[in-house]
Amino acid sequence: MAQTIKRKGQGVRRAAAARGTAQKVKRARATTGSVLDGAMGFLPFTEEQLHRIFLGAILVGALVLAWFVASLAGATALAQQQIATMAGDAGFEVRRVEVRGVERMNELKVYERALGERDRAMPLVDIAALRDELLELSWVQDARVSRQLPDALVIDIIERQPHAVLKKPGRMVLIDAQGNELEAISAASAKRYLLIEGAGAGRKVPALSELLDAAPALRPQVTAAEWVGNRRWNLTFKTGQVLALPQGDTESAGALASFARLDGVNRLLGGKVATFDMRAPERIYMRIPGRSTPESLETTEGQ
């Protein structure tokens, strides 16, 4: 009868190997624990605090995940509305509006737009949309809207600066240096500003400023500028005398600079001449009331 022979030697070797592995694991755990304990010693937190930090991180991650799932499910607006309602119940809603930077414009026009947000929960106030509404006001060059928790909106306004008066059919309008219309103005109030007129003159205001920069000494003497035929300028001085300039930016600037030089030598302004015509190259024609023939003078004279 066959018998089964058990090989005990192999079992002994396996047991020895298992004991060796267990000892290695034990030593590794001891080494790892000592390293972690050493690292923990350098951290400014207790084990309990670290546990709370990890728990908080897990909760934040869960909230972010929940928000993401809600957004995928189309529930973002509902969640935002709920948050806004809670904020309003806690007192975070618009109760005050503070406007800064207004000097010339009608401040009520700013409040008219801002007070539409009154009693609205702070999270629901559309700052960008309110700013866009303010930029539609003629006087507003720029605006900044900010929340001042818990209950105030602060509006900082940068106003356009009045530069001249544009004469239009039946009325006068105050404009800035870019030609933007600010508001209607009376003839009496318009006297202290440069008067600009002519079809399309409003679009040429920046070009007129560059032209007058060609003769800084004459600029304070200019009281009016007429854009003629959509191609050139006539300038009127405080003396009532008129200077007709040629067309073209370079040509008109050169003519004005020449006139300034001639005026410094010959005292043209304040004399008998009513009109100075510089449309002809290198020559100025001067018309004197009562004389049928204009006098002329070379613009190169004295150079």
- Whether 30 maps to a domain, the answer reads no
- 203 with 261, same domain: the answer is yes
DSSP 121: B
Tell me the per-residue pLDDT of 52-70, one tens digit each, with 9 for 90 and over. 666 657 756 765 666 666 6
Sheet holding 152-159, edge to edge: 96-100, 152-159, 140-148
* Residue 184 and residue 96 in one domain: no
Range of the domain at 116: 92-159
Cis peptide before 150 (omega within 30 of 0): yes
Q: Give the number of C-alpha atoms closer than 13 A to the C-alpha of residue 301, restricted to the C-beta side.
A: 12
Beta strands 181-185 and 171-175, pairing class = antiparallel
> pLDDT band at residue 157, thresholds of 50, 70 and 90?
very high
Number of residues that this document lists for the chain:
303
Last residue of a domain, one of 159, 179, 213: 159
Residue finishing a domain among 159, 181, 215: 159
For residue 88, what pLDDT is reported? Answer: 44
Is 203 within a domain? yes
pLDDT for res 230: 93
* Signed CA dihedral, 17, 18, 19, 20: sign only: positive
Cα dihedral 45, 49, 55, 56, rounded to 10, equals: -80
**What is the pairing mode between strands 242-244 and 232-237?**
antiparallel
Q: Is the dihedral of CA 6, 9, 12, 18 positive or negative?
A: negative
pLDDT at 296 over 90: no
Residues 155 and 174 in one domain: no
Last residue of a domain, one of 159, 190, 208: 159
Is the Cβ–Cβ distance between 296 and 288 less than 8 Å? no
Q: For residues 185 and 182, what is the distance between their CA atoms, to the nearest angstrom?
A: 9
Q: Is the pLDDT of residue 215 over 50?
A: yes
pLDDT confidence tier of residue 298, bands split at 50, 70 and 90: confident
Rounded CA-CA distance 234/227 in Å is: 7
- My answer on whether 155 and 169 are in the same domain is no
| Average pLDDT across the chain, whole number | 80
The predicted pLDDT at position 93 comes to: 76
Give the amino acid at 179: G
Domain CATH code at residue 203: 3.40.50.11690
Paired sense of beta strands 164-168 and 171-175, if any: antiparallel
Question: 302: which 2 tokens?
Answer: 């004295």
Count: domains in the chain = 2
Q: Which residues contact 232 (CB under 8 A, 6 or more apart)?
A: 244, 245, 246, 247, 248, 252, 279
Task: Count other C-beta atoms under 10 Å from residue 211's C-beta.
Answer: 21
- Identify the band that residue 36 occupies on the pLDDT scale cut at 50, 70 and 90: very low
Task: Encode pLDDT of 225-250 as tens digits.
Answer: 999 999 999 999 999 999 999 999 99
Q: For residue 4, what pLDDT is reported? A: 45
The predicted pLDDT at position 198 comes to: 96
Q: 50: which residues sit within 8 A by CB, 6+ positions away?
A: 40, 43
Q: How confident is the model at residue 150 (pLDDT cuts 50, 70, 90)?
A: confident
Query: Could you tell me the two tokens for 61?
Result: 């991650």
Claim to verify: residue 181 and residue 288 sit in the same structural domain: yes
Q: Please count the other Cβ atoms lying within 10 Å of the Cβ belonging to residue 160.
A: 21
Same domain, 143 and 181: no
Burial 166-187 (b: 16+ CB within 10 A, else e): bbeeeebbbbbeebbebeebee
Tell me, what amino acid is at 3?
A: Q
Q: Are residues 184 and 286 in the same domain?
A: yes
